[in-house]
């Protein structure tokens, strides 16, 4: 099964090929503190002098995104998520575990059938067990299964599938959170789920039940996954646009929601997927989709409704902006792993101590390679990445019809980049890229498995079973099919937009099987689009490959009487 890739929000038709390669130095063991873990037999000549650019070098789990870290008995368990490379089924069978007491990573392979790999589901520890629910799979299927992981059953725990009464409809962008010994399911996307909140009530005689909650003040709309934090039995939920809500489950029969107006600095919006943690009664929000290297703290005791402060100046340059990371909090520190930068996947592990304002970043002893775009019009391929010490990155590109291209790029101050890989001599088709890293003493680390890319793949227009001028007035629901002659595409995403900017469409992609796709009753309701006697409806079909590259097709349609 192919691994899922995180897609950015760009919508340009013409894009360029990029390769992102994450580099690590020699293997060491992290102690969870601030000192570098270096091979005692090596002299690290040329290593960065600036402490803000120093890294630990450690073994890390496979890079992934959209999962959740839960903390049980002081250990961090990384649940769910979608890998950036490799087999998604194999990825789901292993649970990475980090122990802050030893600074060591390990893994569990619980008995039973594990949940499929998924992004943007919910996970939480409740009464000594780990629960997971929802999300979307590697092939963009929206999920609604409810699972329990009991670590007391068997040597490495046991998975169990639950069938509670009133199990909520499948959804993604959803969350599980425990407040005052009660577990709640919050919001979600994939339907009209944003204002839905449920409490899970376990039972000793069956699989329990989900009870719908309608809090006083009205449930907020959490269609976009909020940042959640719990302080003294109160839930704080930060929406994507920066609105902060407080939920007191003990106030009233079903609790009470309050929209807060905190004092202090204004919190920037776009907090989706931000690193969120509570230390000493304060909520810390780092980065998020589109927020860059920003850090804010919320103090609920800072005035009548609390106050935000801006701590962004304290974040060193070595800490990459990101969203959809695994985040766990224990012993007064916030731990976060992997995630997506907005341009490439991250494979690093960061420990933030907000009391001492200290940051420790560890990079794995491996390379990570990702194509971010491709077009036949671009002959020079750009590549960039990170390294744990000064050295040289050697990139090799090969393909049919031309000789291998080797480019050596210096890596200084933790970063390297090049735009000198030229693919013009190769025939259209597959192009292979591999890499290695050489430190100042000549020691060489090889790359992860080479990545096979497609040259000239993304100027191809795929076929769809409607034509320019098609009338979508009657019926309001209709199906679509399409095909692509060029191999490599994994999904199609379709939207309709009228002249006023109103849109309808599917939020997740339709998977392609053997270069064809099909969606029955795709647009369930187009009544929100304006009627027009001219071709005023724009249909946009974006075809993506496994790395997030896209080819865009546009059709002009009509919506009016006569169907």
Contact 76, 100 (CB under 8 A): yes
List per-residue pLDDT tens for the chain, 563 residues long.
334 334 332 322 222 222 333 222 222 222 333 333 323 222 222 222 233 344 555 667 877 888 999 999 999 999 988 876 556 677 788 999 999 999 999 999 999 999 999 999 999 999 999 999 999 887 778 999 999 999 999 999 999 999 999 999 999 999 999 999 999 999 999 889 999 999 999 999 999 999 999 999 999 999 999 999 999 999 999 998 889 999 999 999 999 999 999 999 988 778 999 999 999 999 999 999 888 899 999 999 998 999 999 999 999 888 889 999 999 999 999 999 998 887 667 878 999 999 999 999 887 644 444 443 344 444 566 666 667 667 888 888 888 888 888 889 888 766 777 777 777 788 777 778 887 878 777 777 765 556 666 665 444 556 776 666 666 654 445 567 777 765 566 677 777 788 877 777 654 567 676 667 776 545 556 777 777 767 778 878 777 665 455 667 778 887 775 44
- Residue 231 φ then ψ, to 5°: -135, 120
Give the SS3 label for residue 91: helix
Task: Please count the other Cβ atoms lying within 10 Å of the Cβ belonging to residue 336.
Answer: 24
Q: Identify the burial level of 424 via C-beta atoms within 10 angstroms of its C-beta, where 0-12 means exposed, 13-18 middle and 19 or more buried.
A: exposed
Token pair of 455, please? 């040259």
Task: Please count the other Cβ atoms lying within 10 Å of the Cβ belonging to residue 406.
Answer: 11
Longest Cα pair distance anywhere in the chain, in angstroms? 80
DSSP state of 111: B
Instruction: Give the Cα separation of 328 and 23 in Å (integer).
Output: 25
Instruction: Give the Cα separation of 258 and 237 in Å (integer).
Output: 10
Residue 373: the pLDDT is 38
Q: Residue 211: beta bridge partners?
A: 199
Within 8 A by CB and 6+ apart from 91, the residues are 3, 62, 64, 81, 82, 83, 117
- Residue 299 φ then ψ, to 5°: -110, 110
Task: Please count the other Cβ atoms lying within 10 Å of the Cβ belonging to residue 357.
Answer: 11
Residue 38: the pLDDT is 29
Residue 519: the pLDDT is 65
Instruction: Give the Cα separation of 81 and 480 in Å (integer).
Output: 30
Contact 194, 187 (CB under 8 A): yes
Question: Going by DSSP bridges, is the β-strand pair 56-58/358-364 parallel, antiparallel, or unpaired?
Answer: parallel
Give the SS3 label for residue 89: helix
Q: Residue 492: beta bridge partners?
A: 510, 543
Within 8 A by CB and 6+ apart from 34, the residues are 358, 360
Cα–Cα separations (whole angstroms), residue 312 to 53, 302, 332, 334, 360 = 17, 19, 19, 16, 16
Instruction: Give the Cα separation of 548 and 374 in Å (integer).
Output: 10
Give the SS3 label for residue 374: coil
Domains and CATH numbers, the chain: 379-455 (2.60.40.4070), 463-559 (2.60.40.2550)
From the list 79, 60, 76, 77, the residue with the least C-alpha distance to 68 is 79
Whole-angstrom distance between the N-terminal and C-terminal Cα of the chain?
Answer: 41
Instruction: Give the Cα separation of 350 and 352 in Å (integer).
Output: 6
Token pair of 1, please? 């099964």
Contact 405, 399 (CB under 8 A): no
- Residue 314 φ then ψ, to 5°: -90, -5
Give the SS3 label for residue 51: helix
Tokens 């039940």 belong to residue: 209
């Amino acid at each position: 099964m192919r691994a899922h890739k995180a897609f950015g929000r760009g919508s340009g038709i013409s894009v360029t090929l990029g390769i992102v390669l994450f580099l690590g130095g020699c293997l060491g063991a992290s102690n969870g503190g601030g000192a570098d873990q270096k091979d005692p037999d090596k002299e690290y000549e040329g290593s960065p002098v600036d402490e803000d650019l120093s890294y630990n070098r450690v073994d890390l789990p496979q890079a992934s995104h959209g999962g959740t870290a839960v903390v049980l008995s002081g250990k961090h368990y990384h649940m769910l998520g979608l890998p950036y490379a490799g087999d998604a089924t194999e990825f789901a069978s292993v649970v990475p575990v980090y122990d802050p007491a030893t600074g060591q990573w390990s893994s569990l392979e619980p008995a039973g059938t594990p949940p499929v790999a998924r992004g943007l589901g919910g996970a939480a520890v409740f009464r000594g067990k780990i629960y997971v629910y929802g999300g979307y799979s590697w092939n963009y299927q929206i999920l609604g299964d409810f699972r329990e992981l009991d670590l007391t059953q068997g040597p490495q725990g046991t998975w169990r599938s639950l069938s509670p009464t009133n199990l909520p409809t499948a959804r993604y962008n959803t969350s599980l959170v425990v407040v005052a010994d009660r577990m709640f399911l919050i919001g979600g996307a994939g339907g009209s789920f944003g204002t839905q909140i449920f409490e899970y009530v376990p039972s000793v005689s069956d699989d329990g039940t989900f009870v719908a909650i309608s809090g006083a003040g009205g449930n907020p709309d959490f269609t976009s996954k909020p940042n959640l934090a719990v302080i003294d039995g109160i839930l704080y939920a930060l929406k994507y646009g920066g609105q902060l809500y407080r939920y007191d489950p003990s106030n009233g029969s079903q609790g009470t929601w309050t929209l807060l107006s905190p004092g202090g600095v204004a919190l920037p919006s776009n907090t989706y997927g931000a690193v969120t943690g509570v230390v000493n009664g304060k909520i810390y929000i780092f980065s998020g989709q589109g927020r860059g290297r920003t850090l804010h703290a919320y103090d609920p005791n800072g005035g009548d409704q609390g106050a935000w402060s801006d701590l962004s100046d304290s974040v060193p340059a070595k800490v990459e902006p990101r969203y959809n990371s695994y985040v766990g909090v224990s012993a007064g520190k916030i731990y976060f792993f992997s995630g997506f930068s907005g341009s490439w996947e991250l494979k690093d592990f960061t420990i933030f101590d907000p009391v001492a304002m200290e940051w420790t970043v560890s990079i794995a002893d491996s390379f990570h390679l990702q194509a971010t775009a491709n077009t036949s019009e671009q002959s020079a391929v750009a590549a960039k990445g990170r390294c744990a010490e000064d050295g040289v990155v050697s990139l090799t590109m090969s393909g049919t019809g031309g000789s291998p291209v080797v480019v050596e790029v210096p890596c200084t101050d933790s970063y390297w980049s090049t735009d000198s890989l030229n693919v013009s001599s190769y025939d259209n088709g597959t192009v292979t890229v591999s890499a290695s890293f050489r430190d100042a003493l000549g020691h060489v680390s090889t790359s992860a498995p080479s990545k096979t890319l497609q040259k000239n793949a993304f100027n191809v227009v795929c076929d769809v079973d409607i034509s320019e001028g098609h009338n979508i007035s009657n019926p309001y629901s209709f199906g679509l099919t399409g095909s692509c002659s060029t191999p490599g595409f994994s999904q199609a995403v379709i939207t309709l937009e009228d002249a006023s900017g109103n849109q309808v469409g599917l939020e997740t992609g339709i998977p392609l099987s053997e270069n064809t796709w099909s969606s029955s009753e795709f647009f369930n309701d187009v009544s929100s689009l304006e009627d027009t006697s001219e071709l005023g409806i724009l249909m946009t079909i974006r075809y993506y490959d496994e790395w997030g590259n896209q080819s865009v097709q546009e059709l002009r349609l009509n919506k009016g009487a006569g169907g």
